[in-house]
Amino acid sequence: MSVPSVTTTPRLRLRVTAAAEASVRGGHPWVFGDSVREQNREGTLGELAVIYDRRDRFLAIGLYDPSSPLRVRVLHVGQPVALDATWWRERLAVALARRQGMFDAQTTGFRLVNGESDGWPGLVLDRYGSVGVLKLYTGAWLPRLPHLVPLIPASTGLEAVVLRLSRNIQAVARADFGLQDGQVISGSDVANPVEFLESGLRFEADVVRGQKTGFFLDQRENRRRVGDLAAGRRVLNAFSFSGGFSLYAARGRAISVTDLDISPHALAAARRNFALNHTTPSVARCQHETVQADAFDWLAAQRRPAYDLVVLDPPSLARREAEREGALRAYGRLARDGIRVLRQGGRLVAASCSAHVSAEEFFAAVRRAGRESGRRFSEMATTRHPPDHPATFPEAQYLKAIFLVFEP
Ligand code: SAH
């Protein structure tokens, strides 16, 4: 009688450079391909890779991606653990517990899981009311979805989950996993756009096709500040997207709000968001207009100081390190042109979401534009990440904003 032979693939094991070892030990979640010194075999997309240290002891375990320069995304460092169903459930529970009590019933849209900084490298989970949006930035999660997705409704109460995929993984998702960007992967069908509340304001998010997961949830705290500054002011919201800052300004009794964006879809969404809030008297009273234009050109062409509050929130201007210098110059020019359209006593709110530009150099560029305007101003505040978007390592820190007040 022949005994069936069982072939088991050995665990994927890696050894990395001393520098990478120190960085992982220090909590950095990325191991780059060029710091892998040795591995026992080729690895496949999304399998678990164990990193051993110089003395051959377990150092860390993470998700392997053979085609990305970011070869391993670390899930756990320290003592060996089994990443079983309980471990994953617990990991999700920790991220959810972190948000406990952060928001009241007036805010039903917020981030539940913020990638690496919540222990879920390359994965984001946002909530819009009862709809979740799971966004993947690495294909390494694709083979794990059948096990992970069922955990989501069970732990969060979400009734449906939409899958969003970063552009670079859409082809592999379709070809090897039969998954499409925007498809519902859990629960009932989703009526898109999805309505939710932020600080009591009603917004819609296009969770199927919109940028990021459909809304820029990361600007909530800055929007609240803008709402507090807006009374009696004429507001320009440059790079407005769907009018997030504008609705807060309108509710905060701004006289008028101008949404400026290059995208007609964004401006149409902004008009719908205003309509959703027309029962709020101050929103109904506020004059709302939309301007579709390149904000850099439009601002540079303005001749009159016509606004009392200007918000500048451009998309990332430095997608790679090589674009850092150019981005800083562009932030400086934007701030200069934003200040030029400010009337006496106006306020400037300038934000940056470029991870390659540090908060300090961004603030310095805006302050310089302030000084070079020859007008007297003071600095009201600088802000960083909101609490539902924690950033635990330098590359994760992309968001910063500065608030300047010009003297009458
Ligand atoms: N402040 C927004 C988010 C801005 S996202 C919020 O609170 O929701 C960046 C926006 O800039 C997008 O809507 C995009 O369409 C727009 N955009 C990109 N390039 C632009 C340009 N050159 N001129 C005007 N808008 C631009």
Residue 6 has pLDDT above 70, yes or no: no
DSSP 103-159: --TT--EEEEEEGGGGT-TTEEEEEETTEEEEEESSGGGGGGHHHHTTHHHHHH--S
Last residue of a domain, one of 77, 110, 131: 77
Residue 10: other Cβ atoms inside 10 A: 7
Ligand 1 closest atom vs CA 315: 9
Residues 389, 288 within the same domain: yes
Is residue 266 lining ligand 1, measured as CB closer than 6 Å?
yes
Q: Whose CA is nearest to atom 16 of ligand 1?
A: 239
Ligand 1 closest atom vs CA 216: 8
At residue 1, the pLDDT reads 47
Minimal CA–CA distance to 192: which of 182, 201, 200?
182
Is residue 262 lining ligand 1, measured as CB closer than 6 Å?
yes
Contact 66, 43 (CB under 8 A): yes
Measured over all CA atoms, what is the biggest interatomic distance in the chain, rounded to whole angstroms? 96
Residue 201 lies in a domain: no
User: Rounded mean pLDDT of 286-306?
Assistant: 97
Residue 8's pLDDT band, with cuts at 50, 70 and 90, is confident
Mean pLDDT, rounded, of the chain: 97
What CATH number does residue 137 fall under? 3.30.750.80
Residue 264's Cα: distance from chain center in Å? 22
CB half-sphere exposure, 260, CA atoms < 13 A: 19
Q: In angstroms, rounded to a whole number, what is the distance separating the alpha carbons of residues 175 and 195?
A: 32
Rounded to 10 degrees, what is the CA torsion of 71, 75, 80, 81?
Answer: -130
Is residue 267 lining ligand 1, measured as CB closer than 6 Å?
no
Residues 246, 271 within the same domain: yes
Is residue 243 lining ligand 1, measured as CB closer than 6 Å?
no
pLDDT tens track for 215-255:
999 999 999 999 999 999 999 999 999 999 999 999 999 99
Contact 73, 63 (CB under 8 A): yes
At residue 299, the pLDDT reads 98
Residue 239 tokens, joined: 């790079």
Q: In angstroms, rounded to a whole number, what is the distance separating the alpha carbons of residues 337 and 348?
A: 11
Q: Cα of 3 to ligand 1 centre, how many Å?
A: 65
Q: Cα of 312 to ligand 1 centre, how many Å?
A: 9
Residue 402 has pLDDT above 70, yes or no: yes
Residue 353 has pLDDT above 70, yes or no: yes
Residues 61, 119 within the same domain: no
Sign of CA pseudo-dihedral 351, 353, 359, 362? negative
Residues 248, 231 within the same domain: yes
Residue 207 tokens, joined: 């969770």
What CATH number does residue 58 fall under? 2.30.130.10
User: Rounded mean pLDDT of 366-382?
Assistant: 98
Residue 203 lies in a domain: no
Residue 254 lies in a domain: yes
Residues 151, 267 within the same domain: no
Q: Whose CA is nearest to atom 20 of ligand 1?
A: 262
User: Rounded mean pLDDT of 18-34?
Assistant: 97
Is residue 296 lining ligand 1, measured as CB closer than 6 Å?
yes
Quote the percentage of the chain above a pLDDT of 70. 98
Last residue of a domain, one of 59, 77, 95: 77
Residues 237, 370 within the same domain: yes
At residue 388, the pLDDT reads 98
Amino acid letter, 311? V
Residues 117, 39 within the same domain: no
Residue 2 has pLDDT above 90, yes or no: no
Q: Whose CA is nearest to atom 13 of ligand 1?
A: 241
**Pairing status of strand 400-406 against strand 377-383:** antiparallel
DSSP 13-52: EEEE-HHHHHHHHTT--EEEGGGEEEESS---TT-EEEEE
Residues 68, 96 within the same domain: no
Q: In angstroms, rounded to a whole number, what is the distance separating the alpha carbons of residues 119 and 121?
A: 6
Is residue 261 lining ligand 1, measured as CB closer than 6 Å?
yes
Ligand 1 closest atom vs CA 239: 11
Ligand 1 closest atom vs CA 311: 1
SS3 398: coil
Residue 211 lies in a domain: no
At residue 5, the pLDDT reads 60
Q: Whose CA is nearest to atom 21 of ligand 1?
A: 294
List, edge to edge, every strand of the sheet that includes 36-39: 30-32, 70-77, 58-64, 48-52, 12-16, 36-39
SS3 331: helix
Is residue 226 lining ligand 1, measured as CB closer than 6 Å?
no
Q: In angstroms, rounded to a whole number, what is the distance separating the alpha carbons of residues 140 and 26?
A: 23
pLDDT tens track for 52-105:
999 999 999 999 999 999 999 999 999 999 999 999 999 999 999 999 999 999
Q: How many domains does the chain have?
A: 3
Residue 143 lies in a domain: yes
Residue 3 has pLDDT above 80, yes or no: no
Is residue 203 lining ligand 1, measured as CB closer than 6 Å?
no
At residue 302, the pLDDT reads 97
Q: Is the pTM of this model over 0.95?
A: yes
Domain limits for position 46: 12-77
At residue 80, the pLDDT reads 96
What CATH number does residue 256 fall under? 3.40.50.150
Amino acid letter, 209? R
Residue 45 has pLDDT above 90, yes or no: yes
Ligand 1 closest atom vs CA 245: 7
At residue 4, the pLDDT reads 57
Residues 254, 367 within the same domain: yes
Q: From the DSSP assignment, how many helices (H) and strands (E) are in the chain?
A: 12, 20
Residues 222, 290 within the same domain: yes
Ligand 1 closest atom vs CA 313: 1
Contact 225, 403 (CB under 8 A): yes
